[in-house]
Structure 1
Amino acid sequence: MTATPAPAGPHTRASLAAQLHDLGVRPGGVVLVHAASRPLGFLCGGPEAMVLALRDVLGPDGTIVVPTHTPENSDPAGWSRPPVPAHWWPVIRAESPGFDPARTPSRFMGALAEQVRTWPGARRSAHPQVSFAALGPAADRIVVGHALTDMLGETSPLARLYDLDADVLLLGVDHGSNTSLHLAEYRLPGLPRQRCGAAVSTGDGGREWVWWDDVDLDESDFARLGDDLAATGAERTGPVGDGTGRLVRQRTAVDFAVGWLARERRTETA
């Protein structure tokens, strides 16, 4: 019987900062972070220690960005995990609390995302399903103007990150969690679209249900895309906590994904 190796931790703010520096996180840069806590092991201070370590490496001119999505704020007619009865749909649309960037917690994005969202001075975009939060001097430039009808496209924070030549940092997750790859979908012609819905807060303290048409997003092949991206040498990997960190320039990933998706998805549907 093979013994389970002992964890390498505990990991501290200083040791995490050293690992992030060695991985290539750029002082003064902008970094979009996707993280799962469990693979990283024991962090002294939990996600707060990771945020502090990132800020130590980025310095005062750097900006941290995280996804603060709220996927449950969506049309219940499309729910599948689990589905709900059709006679519930109008009740959910009428009674779900409206999205409020200052109040509504993110869902399924992990503890690090919530730590950044609630950090003093953080700013959050106003999209009711796929918001992002940013902490640092570039925060406003990244989150302002996130259009309802362009969830992860050219008016979204992902495109502002592309403009800023940001990095994507994956901590304990692979490219299946790399939201930036959706920006490449928007840059392909003729993608299928879908009707979307969500509850939003109104300026008078009320709420309403809104509808819009947007790209029918598909991340089912992103992990395979990421493997091919890594094979080009564009990705840096290294230990972060007990887990693996992956760092890649967002522009490089998006540009690669545009060609990859155009080729691979065409092949699959041919």
Structure 2
Amino acid sequence: MVSVEEIGDGLRRLGLGSSSKVIVHSSLKSFGYVDGGAEAVCDALTETCGTVLAPAGTWDLTGIGPPPGTPRPHNGYAPAPTWEAFDEELDRATAFSLELPIDRELGRIPETLRLTRTPTRTAHPLFSYQAVGPAADQLLAAQRSDWPLGPIEELGRLDGDVLLLGVGHTANTTIHLAEQLLGRSRFYRYAKTGERVWSELPNVPGASHEFDAIEPALRSATRETTIGACRARKIPVADVLAAARRLILDDPTALLCSSADCRCAAARDQRLATLRGR
């Protein structure tokens, strides 16, 4: 059994404290049995760290495919074949609101943070973020509908850290920011934003299933401990951005798979098009 005190101790072993600013990617089950469950993890995070930024996306409820007649180069997502098919999908989706639950794929910890800490939350219809602590408003104000990863960019300016609790770099959205700054993984995606109303949203990131390949490049910058059964890692945002940038500058296909049917192929082609445009 893991207690809230043990989680707090583990976070402090990583060097985190009241002045820290972190983006948290997490898996509750990675800890083993936690006394107090996800709320205990939220207690430890908010009591130990100064500012906690966490994902709050609603893609599973609000996300829809592209409508007909919206071909975007290297977008990795085919438009609906007819307006009838698109309208059916739109009817099935849920219109975005700040009260929607967080996408279940993001885990129980961010949803529990939303329910128990009443954090500030951004209004991006697909890629929302939430934050608690002194720098919360500053981080969240950096998100725009056309630049969803703005809070991570601002976190980097504030010398913040990526905190991985029982998850790998496939959950590390900061790598997507490095991609996008180099013209890669900048997709147009679509969401339901009102009754029979949809919006086109640019610069939504793509696939991440090969991101664990960055680990050797980050070894020297990573501080690690074990909390219960959880592998907990802290890496400065600046180091993640720098390592991903070096890899992509050396190879446009870095951290991408080779499947022609995957969004990785579209991300690669975006990067190549950027290089050709120089």
Band the TM-score falls in, shorter-chain normalisation = 0.7 to 0.9
Contact preservation (8 Å) 2:187, 2:202: yes
Residue 65 of structure 2 corresponds to: 76
Query: How far did residue 221 of structure 1 move?
Result: 2.6
Matched, 1:102 2:99: yes
- Aligned sequence identity (%): 27
Q: Which letter does structure 2 place at the counterpart of 1:241?
A: G
Q: If each structure's helix is expressed as a fraction of its own residues, which one has the higher value?
A: 2
Query: How far did residue 217 of structure 1 move?
Result: 2.6
Deviating more after overlay: 257-266 vs 180-189: 257-266
Partner deviation per Cα, 1:9-41 (whole Å, 9 max, x = no partner): x11111111111112223221111111111210
Alignment of 1:1-270 (within 5 A): 10-58=1-49, 62-72=50-60, 73-76=62-65, 88-152=85-149, 156-189=150-183, 191=184, 193-201=186-194, 208-214=197-203, 217-230=206-219, 233-266=220-253
CA distance in 1, matches of 2:106, 2:122: 15
- TM-score, structure 2 length as denominator? 0.79
Contact preservation (8 Å) 1:41, 1:242: yes
- TM-score, structure 1 length as denominator? 0.81
Contact preservation (8 Å) 1:71, 1:107: no
Contact preservation (8 Å) 1:11, 1:43: yes
Change (3 A) 1:193 1:16: closer
RMSD, matched Cα: 2.6
CA distance in 2, matches of 1:136, 1:169: 16
CA distance in 2, matches of 1:247, 1:193: 26
Q: Which letter does structure 2 place at the counterpart of 1:44?
A: D
Q: Which letter does structure 2 place at the counterpart of 1:236?
A: R
Contact preservation (8 Å) 1:32, 1:66: yes
Change (3 A) 1:45 1:131: same
Contact preservation (8 Å) 1:185, 1:217: no
Where 1:100 maps in the other structure, the secondary structure is: coil
Q: Structure 2: any 5+ residue segments left out of the alignment?
A: 68-75, 259-267, 273-278
Where 2:40 maps in the other structure, the secondary structure is: helix
Contact preservation (8 Å) 1:68, 1:107: no
Where 2:116 maps in the other structure, the secondary structure is: coil
Contact preservation (8 Å) 2:21, 2:160: yes
Q: Structure 1: any 5+ residue segments left out of the alignment?
A: 1-9
